[in-house]
Structure 1
């Protein structure tokens, strides 16, 4: 039951007071002992009424048992009549109405048994007296059932509110977890590319014994810049994973150590800077842009940028020094196609081919989430080719589902 309202002790005091009022009216205002009855019956009636008044304190724990004992006392003690009404009301509040109605009918049925032990007057055994007792019982049972229904309604409303609040918290946690998972996926693309460039420059520097001091200085500067950028990216991503309330528009390049700044996500507008970084690492890259319009939506542009980044990282790792061709084509309202290819390395240069790695699997997942399709992601006519096609203005299904859930 709801916890609002008077305390249980106050209800108990009221129930006992009402029961004692029944004792007072039966024994003081209208004495129940009749001429011919032993005077001891007055004291028996008083003891029974007091006992029934105390028994109503157990009406919450054992409502059925309390009612039955009070009804039994009512067979010989007329002063317990209000205690019986209190027990019946409490029974109707705490048990389904058929149970309360059945026990109320039982109290009416055992009423005539009082004539076995006590003398009765014509008024006590008249049809009007029985009708009055039945009417009181019906009112008490109906009122108790109405109170029980109200309590059940309030309980259901409270339960629904708590469930809605819990579901809202779970939805928020799920959205936060999904966002953190997305950021964790970005870590593979960003750091793999940065560290691959650092590894390539370090490897070239280790093998070029005859490099001039200027060349060595330039290579070390590229390594230092790549390591610094990787550290900044790692700090930003881990900062967001630690702090779900971090500002996604903060500049990671200016974030202090331990803060949660995150740089804006790159789009196709940043593709030129990506290609310049790959070229500076020693991988020739050409870009052929055949789009009818350069304004690719940001969601689509981010997906294309990450796929290009992953494809270039794989090319630099597995076919170092081989030229890479990047082709973009498409038109607004249709689809945009990305094609990244490079010649396969010489036989035995990188070992036997293995199954697709996490990078290629990640590309397929990104394309699927964007509503596109993968045209190729493996060897094809002497070249390793990654080709995908995305809707020009398609909305990622994960974002759309999240917005629908929030709405």
Structure 2
């Protein structure tokens, strides 16, 4: 407990005042000395009572030591009895109750020793007086133990509140990290595809020196459109950081922080057409048996297809790419994308696209069937559960329980 401040000083003043009240009651209300005792005992009693009142100020730093000295003074000085009660109470507040109870019993055992040095009346040596002293000690120890238990409870509540704040801060940091990871993944998937298409068109334009003005104009228009779409996507994704309350379903506009609608399998044809326009032959075969694919599953398949087509255009430019989507008997959707392996030394440097594909599949609860060279072709094959909404519901419930 703190030893500085107004409240501790007031408690110290109250303890000293209570101890001095015992001096007053013993020396002025009751007879100071018994007939036959030396008059000097009154002054001894007064000095001992004042010393005991002063010793209670040391109860914070030395609770047991100061209490033992006060108990010793009670053997000679009847005026130190309230100071002894204050000392016992302080021990019960600052030490476990067995220690306080043991010292309380010790103080009671010292009471009869006063008869060895001071004269006693029959009332002072009676069983009623001993019972009153024992009852007072029990009340003092019990009250001090109750105060100690309350202090421990308050400390525990404060510690739990601080721990809850720390855990909330850690959860907030984890949420921010997860959001940054999600934004980084979206930026990689979207911008890598857009900029790869722009790079392919610009490279083709640089090598086609015999192209007609119309062909050059068309190629430049494709490059301009790709760059504009990349800028729109970048602003839409970064808008999440600037405007947390933006509507995810709202359309993206140039110069705003609106968030574009997330693509699904319905946008797959448009994606394939864009890749074909960049000079990469793509064959798309879809066999879903007319079954609807949930948006979450479709979004995962769209992003994986986008990443594989981007990789194919970058590492195997001009080579045909086969994309096949089909439904399985286990309620999953299988995506198989493959292209011939390029000649040695062709294509750009490798990145983190395959790692991102693996992470997306794992987050969707699916599995990777193939991810690399396979019989002379580079093949990416994954299976994603169609009903991924159930898993999302479980995750949402877990997040709510954690919150």
Q: What is the TM-score of this pair, normalised by structure 2?
A: 0.90
Contact kept, 8 Å, 1:370 with 1:395, in 2: the verdict is no
Determine the structure 1 residue equivalent to 2:260: 263
SS in 1 for 2:120: coil
1:77-101 per-position Cα deviation (integer Å, ceiling 9, x unaligned)? 1111111111111110110011111
How far residue 122 of structure 1 moved from its aligned partner, in angstroms, is 2.3
Secondary structure of 2:76's match? coil
The 1:172/1:364 distance shift into structure 2, 3 A limit, reads same
Shift of residue 63, structure 1, vs aligned partner: 1.6
Q: 1:255 to 1:141 in 2, by over 3 A?
A: farther
CA offsets per residue over residues 257-312 of structure 1, 9 Å max, x none? xx754323222122122112212211122322211235211111111011000110
* Equivalent in the alignment of 1:298: 295
Instruction: Please say if residues 187 and 234 of structure 1, whose CA atoms lie closer than 8 Å, have aligned partners that are also in contact.
Output: yes
Q: Which residue of 1 aligns with 2:381?
A: 387
Partner of 1:245: 244
Unaligned runs of 5+ in 2: none
Is 1:8 matched with 2:8?
yes
**SS of residue paired to 1:264:** coil
Tell me if structure 1 keeps the 8 A contact 2:232–2:253: no
The residue that corresponds to 2:65 in the other structure is: 65
Measure the CA separation in 2 of the matches of 1:395 and 1:73.
79
Give the secondary structure class of the aligned counterpart of 1:254.
Answer: coil
Work out the CA distance in 2 between the residues paired with 1:271 and 1:216. Answer: 28
User: What residue ranges of structure 1 are gaps of 5+ in the alignment?
Assistant: none
The Cα offsets for residues 204-258 of structure 1, whole Å up to 9 and x where unpaired, read as: 0110001111211221222222223223333443453x558353617573263xx
Cα distance in structure 1, aligned partners of 2:361 and 2:113: 86
Residue pair 1:293, 1:332 contacting (<8 A) in 2 also? no
Q: Distance in 2 between matches of 1:282 and 1:329?
A: 26
Q: Is the 8 A contact 2:328 2:334 kept in 1?
A: no
> 1:248 touches 1:264 (CA, 8 Å); kept in 2?
no
| C-alpha distance 392-398 of structure 1, shift in aligned 2 (>3 A) | closer
Q: What CA distance in whole angstroms lies between the structure 1 residues aligned with 2:142 and 2:2? A: 20
Secondary structure of the structure 2 residue equivalent to 1:371: coil
In the other structure, the counterpart of 1:406 is 400
* Residue correspondence of structure 1 range 85-234 to structure 2 within 5 A: 85-234=85-234
Q: CA deviation at 1:348?
A: 3.4
Are the counterparts in 2 of residues 327 and 340 from structure 1 also a CA contact under 8 Å? Answer: yes
Contact 2:71 2:107 in 1 (8 A): yes
Q: Deviations over 1:294-344 (max 9, x none)?
A: 521111111101100011011111221222222211179711111222233
Tell me which residue corresponds to 1:36. 36
> In the alignment, which residue of structure 1 is the partner of 2:344?
348
Distance 1:296 1:388 in 2: 15
Q: What is the CA distance between 1:349 and its match in structure 2?
A: 5.9
Moved more, 102-111 or 123-132: 123-132
Mapping 1:320-339, distance limit 5 Å: 320-330=317-327, 334-339=331-336
Change beyond 3 A, Cα 1:396–1:305: farther
**Could you report, residue by residue, the CA deviation over 1:351-372 in whole angstroms, capped at 9, with x for unpaired residues?**
7x99x75212221221122121
2:372 is equivalent to residue 373 of structure 1: no
Deviates more, 1:156-165 or 1:288-297: 156-165
CA spacing shift, 1:139–1:235, aligned 2, 3 Å = same
Distance 1:349 1:166, change over 3 A: closer
